[in-house]
Amino acid sequence: MATYAYRCQDCGPFEVRLPMGTAGAATGCPACGSPARRVFTAPGLGRSSPALSAARAREERSQEAPEVVTRVTPERPEHPALSRLPRP
């Protein structure tokens, strides 16, 4: 399903949810029933959280220019489950 925007001459804008690709150039206004023309709007971009956007931007940057590590990551205490793994 996709959301399509229409504008009635008398009642103003409204949205209709239809299966993708099935929206016509006009539809009946839900309030007055008169024909309403379809309005084309920008796609809903930028709705992800700032943390997700930052992670995606970092991933994109790493494809061309990976970040250089200048120091070793400090040791963390080993997880107890790791001690049960077979050792060579």
The CA distance from 3 to 27, in Å, is: 13
Q: Which two tokens stand for residue 79?
A: 């997880």
Q: Which of 5, 11, 16, 23 binds Zn ion (CB under 5 A)?
A: 11
4 contacts 16 by C-beta, under 8 angstroms: yes
Applying CB under 5 A, among 32, 39, 52, 57 the residue interacting with Zn ion is 32
Distance separating alpha carbons of residues 63 and 47, to the nearest angstrom: 24
Q: Which is nearer to Zn ion, 14 or 18 (CB)?
A: 14
**Candidate segments 18-26, 32-40, 55-63, 73-81, binder of Zn ion by CB under 5 A:** 32-40
User: Which residues of this protein are in contact with Zn ion, per CB under 5 A?
Assistant: 8, 10-11, 29, 31-32
